[in-house]
Amino acid sequence: MSHRRISKSKAVLAGAGAVGVAAAAILLPNANASQSGTDDGAGGAGQNARTVSAASAPELVARLSSQLGEDYAGAYYDTQKKQVVVNVADGGDSDATARVRDAGAVARSVENSMGELRSATGTLTRDATIPGTAWAVDPRTNQILVTADTTVTGERWDTLESTVASLGDGMARIQKSAGEFKPFLEGGDAIFGGGSRCSLGFNVTTQDGTPGFLTAGHCGVAAEQWSEEQNGAPVGTVQAATFPGDGDFALVTYDDPATAAPSEVDLGDGQTLPIGQAGEAAVGLEVVRMGSTTGLADGSVTGLNATVNYAEGSVSGLIQTNVCAEPGDSGGPLFTADGTAIGLTSGGSGDCTSGGETFFQPVSTALAAVGAEIGAGGAADDGGGGAVDDGSGDAGDDSGAGVGDDGLEVGGDH
């Protein structure tokens, strides 16, 4: 493994080291696997759905969610067909299905409405907020996926199991994790504060023009000042931190207001990836994570608005993924191959050998809460720089710039 630091003249806090990942293909398994409900593509109607870039999928999902109202029951991105699949709980209302098709997406009839799924998550919050558990809506199965780590045993397991059963058939399912849910924070080397090690997320600009960066909230509450070397002089001070509760994010401003803080992720070997905007996650979106412990890892979004019950407290509003991470990766950036900021590493279970579940703080929520911007001005107008293909060209045929048959070859410091 070769190690490289960003030069101090750039004044960007570095992580553990550059890790090259050759031909790390960012691919999803069949997004249609293990799903309940009827995909109208099976009957031919979905075959006319437009191909959509992965970057533009969240914008299309948000638009249809607003238009469908109570008929909307979740959505996901099918990476094989490059189409957005929208769950419709309309009880046979053809108008809602027609709206989905007219927008260029695939309509899929399901039993559980979004209102019913939200009500069920409320029951879980009330009756099963147990350390070591997590849940998120899985639109591919039209159910709530409840995960329990290895600490959930005995009476706690019985409580969880009975609560899930009380929701009714087909509303939720339980899976066991091989690890233990915890924030990915530990002592070591990268950005340092109070004897803890974390990872820098994204450089930002605050409302008054001060340069700073985002990291995990549990890092922000662990120490007030952070340095780029262990036992080094502080270079940044925490201005705001949320953890636990409604998120896991912190804003750190550079102590020197003249610090150059470019909006980019260092990919190693002299390469950088510009981060031009913040975007929203969508289930099925292919993402890349950078961390100071494990370098790069890739995978996909598996759930939104997730709640995870750490031993330190419950955190809600997170993105759930199958991307691996390990202690020390906390706060590191989650992004797309075309340079859209998506999230900040919070925690999860497992490691990058056995895999596991990992949770991320949405960047858009963190930016809004602390009043900061990424790049030239926060969230992109089109939800990530892409556009829905209108059938007149090839603009929508790719699932994300920088991802090809040979994958994405990157490594990084943040």
Asked if residue 65 belongs to a domain, the reply is: yes
Q: What is the pTM of this model?
A: 0.77
Helices (H), 204-297: 217-220
Question: Could you list the active site residues?
Answer: 218, 248, 330
| Same domain, residue pair 200 and 146 | no
Q: How confident is the model at residue 300 (pLDDT cuts 50, 70, 90)?
A: very high
Domains identified in the chain, total number: 3
Cα(414)–Cα(6) distance, integer angstroms:
9
For residue 351, is it within any domain? yes
| Residues 99 and 248 placed together within one structural domain of the fold | no
- Claim to verify: residue 263 and residue 187 sit in the same structural domain: yes
Q: Are residues 320 and 200 in the same domain?
A: yes
- Structural domain range at position 163: 114-176
Place of tokens 């959930």: 152
**188 in a domain, yes or no?**
yes
Give one DSSP letter per residue of 354-384, joined into a string. TB--EEEEEHHHHHHHHTEE-TTTSB-TTSS
Query: What is the reported pLDDT for 47?
Result: 53
Q: Are residues 185 and 321 in the same domain?
A: yes
Task: Give the DSSP H/E element, type plus range, for residue 278.
Answer: strand 277-278
pLDDT at residue 331 is higher than 50: yes
Question: Are 149 and 104 in the same domain?
Answer: no
The region of weakest confidence among 37-51, 125-139, 235-249, 366-380 is 37-51
In sequence order, what DSSP letters do the residues of 14-43 get, joined into one string? Answer: --S----EEEE------TTTT--SEEGGGG
The answer on 368 and 349 residing in a single domain is yes
- For the stretch 28-66, pLDDT in tens is 222 333 344 555 543 334 557 899 888 788 889 999 999
Q: Evaluate whether residue 95 is within a structural domain.
A: yes
